[in-house]
Each structure stands twice: as C-alpha cells, then as structure tokens.
C-alpha cells in the first residue's frame, strides 16, 4: 500500500485515502474527514477503473 491509494475499511466498508505509511500502519483520511492509523490487513485497496 502506498500514499494516495483509495481504500475500504474491511470491517464496515468506510472509504478513505492513505496519506502516510509507517511500516504496516497506514494513516488514512476517511470520507467523513476523520483520520486514523490502521493496520494494512484491515484495509482493502480499491483498484482504479481503466
């Protein structure tokens, strides 16, 4: 995972964007403008459409 990736939180489907990565932790800004640090395994990267 990298900065700029659009992700979905696996537990509830909330969408966000990664703004920082430290090891296996990702700092995510969520669609409600809340931010949090999450483990990579809790995030699903949304693939870009062609």
CB 42: neighbour CB atoms within 10 A? 13
Instruction: Give this prediction's pTM.
Output: 0.89
Instruction: State the pLDDT at residue 50.
Output: 56
Instruction: State the pLDDT at residue 49.
Output: 61
47 pLDDT more than 90: no
The SS3 call for residue 33 is coil
């Amino acid at each position: 995972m990298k900065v700029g990736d659009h992700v979905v939180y696996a537990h509830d489907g909330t969408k966000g964007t990664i703004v920082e990565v430290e090891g296996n932790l990702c700092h995510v800004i969520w669609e409600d403008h809340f931010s949090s640090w999450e483990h990579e395994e809790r995030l699903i990267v949304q693939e870009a459409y062609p």
